Structure 1
Amino acid sequence: MKMLDKLEKRLGFLAVPNVVMTLIIAQLVIYAGMLTGRLEFEGLLLVPKAVFAGEWWRLLSFVLTPPYVPATAFQAIFLAFFWYILWMMSQNLEAQWGTFRLNVFLLTSILFAIAGAFIGQLISPAATLYVAPRFLYYSLFLAFATLNPNIQFLMMFLIPVKVKWLAWIIVGFGFIAVLAMPSIGHRIAFVAPYFGYLLFFKGMLRQSLENRQRRSKFAAERIQSADAALHICEECGASDKSHPDRDFRYKSVAKDMVCLCNICREKHSNSN
């Protein structure tokens, strides 16, 4: 992306190194506040109606909110594992993209999420929309899977699954979730954050689609050529496919090579 290259030259010094680790530490602090009862999960999410009522901190706090996990004995273990995977993927993306591009990717997703929430609320004013930061995790995962499709994760620590298939599963469940949502506003708020992913990967996705279409066309042409007859009799129309028992040969007629099967050659011989 040429525009990003230009922006990086001018604004690259503003990029925050290891930005996802900073986000994880902030979420850890928020999580500690939730455990002590000083903070509530619902009070930190992005709720457009609440922002209109003056709760401006939600424009930032929703990004710092840790993922919602039901209160169980394994809650802390799950969050630790979740944060480790999130950090690992961010390290990979930062190594491939650079610090500035990863920062822009996250910021773009967040801005689209905020815009989508407010647009969705305006379109469906009767609904109460809220946005949690799960879109950020899914966007990072989709970016990681797009750049590293063949890396394997161990499902339940036992079953190796390529990350690209997990990404398709997430996309499939996301599509079902969109269809099940009660209003257009909910759908806009849900889909909007992923426009950041599309902006970053539109060229790669287009090229992948073109390559797939090219391979399909080549495969179809190979099948067609394999099914096509090599020899067709000029007189009776028999071919080596329709009549594999016949013998086809060529002879010169008015400087053109004409194909005849053995039956037609015998007819010519008898008539002569």
Structure 2
Amino acid sequence: MRAIEKRLDQFCRDHPRFGIPNLMNILVIGTVIVFLLDRFSGYRASYLLSFSASAIFHGQIWRLVSFVFVPLGSDILTVALSLYFYWWIGSSLEREWGTARFSLFYLLGVVFNIVFGLIAGYTSVTYLNLSMFFAFAVLYPDMRVLLFFFIPIKIKWLALADALLFVLAFLSSLIRLDIVGAFLPLVSILNFFLFFWSDMMDVLQYRRQRYQHQHSKQTVNFKKATKQAQQQKGYIHKCAVCGKTDTDFPDMEFRYCSKCNGYYCYCMEHINNHVHIE
């Protein structure tokens, strides 16, 4: 995965003019047009433009592209809010990444959906838009938005909530033996994994190392010794050789020896002049 991610980055650097500038503007305008056509045609437009493998195999190849413009919903307020939200996210990603990287990110998502749709019979851009949201949350985790227009919440918490719902939907589909419904979300966010695999692995490695450090024998002993010292002796550091403490000698520096087996503290006179404890 890391090798693929590096090749994608290299492609974007080598082809800076690749892609469609202001791609989200085109997607939003196209979706609005289809929504308006639906209102006057009894949703005939969405029917003719949505993804259908059987229709594509019978010559309606425009569905390979037009399905990305089919609105997700029929309520005007819901559609308007979702379009604005994803336009804001997509435009922010394009400004951060550049046109080439963002276009490649979205294009790969579309390609993955098309391949899956041709095999399974149908597909949707619902989870493709969710992949953009996950990407935005990785780049701007602490940005605040107003949930329900008045509750300030960080993007990362919304992303975690969406990820939980994503997992629940996946498990629910598996329980119902709906294999297509279970794997459509996974396929739709493959582009996210391709572009953020290194970041996710780095976070997992950092958290694993931090957990190991916090629960290591030396750290536990150090915390225990520090707590006992504060409660009983009134000092934090005490030289294991001469017994000097930071209470008796507040200007003295104390260090811990990395070669001793355990957290043993020494004053500056003995940090380099003591027998290491095995």
TM band (smaller chain): 0.7 to 0.9
The answer to whether the 8 A contact 1:47-1:130 is kept is: yes
Instruction: Return the alpha-carbon distance in structure 1 between the equivalents of residues 54 and 106 of structure 2.
Output: 24
Tell me which of 198, 201, 205 is aligned to 1:210.
205
Q: How many residues align?
A: 224
Structure 1, unaligned stretches of length 5 or more?
Answer: 70-74, 122-128, 231-239, 252-272
Return the alpha-carbon distance in structure 2 between the equivalents of residues 179 and 158 of structure 1.
Answer: 32
Change (3 A) 1:50 1:188: farther
Counterpart residue type for residue 223 of structure 2: A
Q: Residue 82 of structure 1: CA displacement?
A: 2.0
Query: Deviation string for 1:225-254 (max 9, x for gaps)?
Result: 323699xxxxxxxxx89xx89xxx989xxx
1:21 aligns with 2:25: yes
Distance in 2 separating the partners of 1:97 and 1:229: 47
Give CA deviations for 1:112-163 in whole Å, capped at 9, x if unaligned.
11122234x2xxxxxxx43221122101111001111111111111211111
Distance 1:53 1:65 in 2: 20
What is aligned with 1:56? Answer: 61
Q: Taking structure 2 as the reference length, what is the TM-score of the superposition?
A: 0.72
- Contact kept in structure 1, 2:18 and 2:99, CA below 8 Å: no
- C-alpha contact 1:116 1:190 (8 A) present in aligned 2: no
Measure how far apart 1:51 and its partner are.
Answer: 2.4
**Letter matched to residue 91 of structure 1:** S
Code of the residue aligned with 2:89 in structure 1: it is M
Cα distance in 2 for residues equivalent to 1:185 and 1:109? 17
- Aligned 8 A contact 2:110 2:128 in 1: yes
Corresponding position: 1:193 with 2:179: no
Whether contact under 8 Å (1:152, 1:160) holds in the other structure is yes
Aligned to 1:237: none
2:143 counterpart residue number:
151
SS of 2:146's partner is strand
- Residue 227 of structure 1 aligns to which amino acid in structure 2? K
Moved over 4 A (4+): none
Return the offset for 1:110. Answer: 0.8
| 25-34 vs 130-139, greater mean Cα deviation | 130-139
Q: Deviations over 1:8-67 (max 9, x none)?
A: 354332321111111101111111111110734344322323323433222111111112
Deviations 1:178-225 (A, max 9, x none): 122243233223311111100000011011111111221222233343
Pairwise mapping of residues 184-263 of structure 1 onto structure 2 (< 5 A)? 184-221=179-216, 222-227=219-224
Shift in Å, 1:111? 0.8
Aligned-pair identity in percent equals 27
Written as runs of structure 1 = structure 2, the 5 A alignment for 1:162-177 is: 162-177=154-169
Counterpart CA distance in 2 for 1:229 and 1:166 is 39
Unaligned segments of structure 2, at least 5 residues: 234-239, 243-278
Cα separation, 2, equivalents of 1:15 and 1:50: 28
Kindly indicate whether the alpha-carbon contact (under 8 Å) linking 2:12 and 2:18 is maintained by their aligned counterparts in 1. no
* 2:73 and 2:79 in contact (8 A); partners too: no
Cα distance in 1 for residues equivalent to 2:241 and 2:202: 46
Q: TM-score, normalised by structure 1?
A: 0.73
Amino acid of the structure 1 residue aligned with 2:33? V
Show the counterpart of 1:117: 117
CA distance 1:229–1:97, shift in 2 (3 Å):
closer
Cα distance in 2 between the residues matched to 1:223 and 1:42: 63
Counterpart of 1:46 in structure 2: which amino acid? Answer: F
